[in-house]
Amino acid sequence: MSKKNIEKLLSDLTQVTAEPVRKGLSEDIKNRIPHKLIPHKGKDTINIMIDLRISKLTAAAAIIITLILCVNFLGDKNTDNLGLVQESKLLVNYFLSGGHKAIENNEYAGMEKYYNQLLKQGEDVIYYGNTIKPGDGDAILMQFKTNEGKYRIIFGDMKSKTVTAQELIKLQSEMLLKK
């Protein structure tokens, strides 16, 4: 059997198998034309189709992170420089610990920011944030020297007061003894 013969047979087969197509099919397809066909903008654009299935919890986390990003971009100064990861951690902490702990951590995070700011300004400042128990009213969270030669102290419960050098030494000793 030659190549021509087989090609002739294929041609015959094509005709025989060209069965009629249901007339309504074209209408069925046309009815599915999207009402809003999106025009192609040009050669520089690409189409990204994402079929993403995520859990409700993940979706909630994504929404929260998006909100934080928006807040950062729209200029909420309280969250400035905290960093996305840190802020997300705070939110997760907030939900896991009923909100309490996260608030404390958040305050500490703000305090840390304040500490870094003072440090940059060349102030005589010490920060104990990592060593004290959150919310401890007797523990010194941060101390820095004022222009009058006194010391401004911020405690673990975020209360603050200005003390003399002697009073500061006394407070520090008490803090060490307690430890």
Among left, alpha and beta (phi > 0; psi -120 to 50; other), residue 98 is left
Q: The tokens of 98 are what? A: 């009923």
Smaller CB separation from other proteins, 40 or 179: 40
How far is the CA of 31 from the CAs of 22, 34, 36, 37, in angstroms?
A: 15, 8, 13, 13
Footprint of other proteins on residues 95-134 (CB under 8 A)? none
Closest distance of CB 52 from other proteins, Å = 16
Footprint of other proteins on residues 8-37 (CB under 8 A)? 9-19, 21-22, 25-26, 28-30, 32-34, 36-37
Q: How many CB atoms lie within 10 A of CB 132?
A: 19
CA distance linking residue 36 with residue 33, whole number of Å = 8
Region from 4-12, 110-118, 142-150, 157-165 binding other proteins, contact rule CB under 8 A: 4-12
Query: Does residue 44 belong to the site contacting other proteins (CB under 8 A)?
Result: no
Q: The tokens of 52 are what? A: 């993403």
Query: Does residue 50 belong to the site contacting other proteins (CB under 8 A)?
Result: no
Query: Which residues lie near other proteins (CB under 8 A)?
Result: 1, 3, 6-7, 9-19, 21-22, 25-26, 28-30, 32-34, 36-40, 45-47, 49
